[in-house]
Amino acid sequence: MRIATWNVNSVNARLENVLAWFEAEAPDVAVLQEIKCVDEKFPAEAFERLGYNVVVHGQKTYNGVALLSKHPVEDVRKGLPLLDGDAEDEQARYVEAVISGPKPVRVIGIYLPNGNPIGTEKFAYKLSWMRRLHEHAKGLLAFEEPLVIAGDYNVIPEVEDVANPEAWLSDALFQPESRAAFRALKNLGFTDAYMQADGTPGGYTFWDYQAGAWPRNLGIRIDHLLLSPQAADKLAEVKIHRDERDKEKPSDHVPVVATLRL
């Protein structure tokens, strides 16, 4: 089973590129982030024509996530559960479903908050969201099933995951608190799919539109797939489709695809 994650940076603005990639690569399951539309405006029919079941958790203008699967989907959840004392969260950043393939696998798509600027309520929200993800993921691990948490984590885990570390020292994506929360999530028992399958420094998934980041390869790795032990045991490979960044009107992120031998 090939499971993809891609922050498309507005699905309707980049639909031609996105559909062309889906037609060429035909992942079994994909989670999309930053679709930037409400559910009714998501181009579901275009993906259904390619054989996908579509689950959308959208939001006008900002955020939004979607899950696409060539297999039936069950046990759908939209929105990350709150912890005691949390205020209601209206941001569309989380979708979860069980994929009923040859062997069921639970797939989660996330668009983790950016958190900038640090020292504001936006950074506090990022860390709070990561605590909520931690607690929910811990509960799901108890099922002892193949589980994949894929998406734009907005976290640069290590120095090797950024071309120019000095440029990101004051950014929320590279703060010690953000990186520690990501490590704590992995320490529950999750495996970073790219690090297990490849791990070569420079496996970037995002290049800013500014300052010639793409031609100068000033990238960062912030799109991750974390695997439960039952999924990690089945990991065959991970591929970063960096050529998508070189297309006309590209997203600033590229697809990342993990292949599991389920």
Q: How far apart are the C-alpha atoms of 253 and 262, rounded to whole Å?
A: 27
Q: Which of 57, 71, 136, 253 is catalytic?
A: 253
Which of helix, strand or coil describes residue 119? coil
- How many CB atoms neighbour CB 93 within 10 A? 25
Residue spans of beta strands (DSSP E) within the chain:
2-7, 29-33, 53-57, 65-69, 73-78, 94-99, 105-111, 147-152, 191-192, 223-227, 235-240, 256-260
Which of helix, strand or coil describes residue 261? coil
Beta pairing class for 2-7 and 29-33: parallel
**152 marked as binding residue:** yes
**7 marked as binding residue:** yes
**34 marked as binding residue:** yes
> Is 171 assigned a catalytic role?
no
Q: Which of 111, 153, 194, 204 is catalytic?
A: 111
**253 marked as binding residue:** yes
> Is 253 assigned a catalytic role?
yes
> Is 241 assigned a catalytic role?
no
Q: Which of 152, 161, 192, 223 is catalytic?
A: 152
**CA 215, 159, 127, 172 torsion: positive or negative?**
negative
**How would you class 212 by CB atoms within 10 Å of its CB: exposed for 0-12, middle for 13-18, buried for 19 or more?**
exposed
Q: Helices 121-141 and 176-187: crossing angle, nearest 10°?
A: 10
**9 marked as binding residue:** no
Q: What is the DSSP letter of 216?
A: T
Which of helix, strand or coil describes residue 191? strand
Q: How far apart are the C-alpha atoms of 134 and 226, rounded to whole Å?
A: 12
DSSP per-residue string spanning 222-241: -EEEEE-HHHHTTEEEEEE-
User: Would you list which residues are annotated within the binding site for Mg(2+)?
Assistant: 7, 34, 152, 154, 252-253
Which residue numbers are catalytic? 111, 152, 253
User: Would you list which residues are annotated within the binding site?
Assistant: 7, 34, 152, 154, 252-253
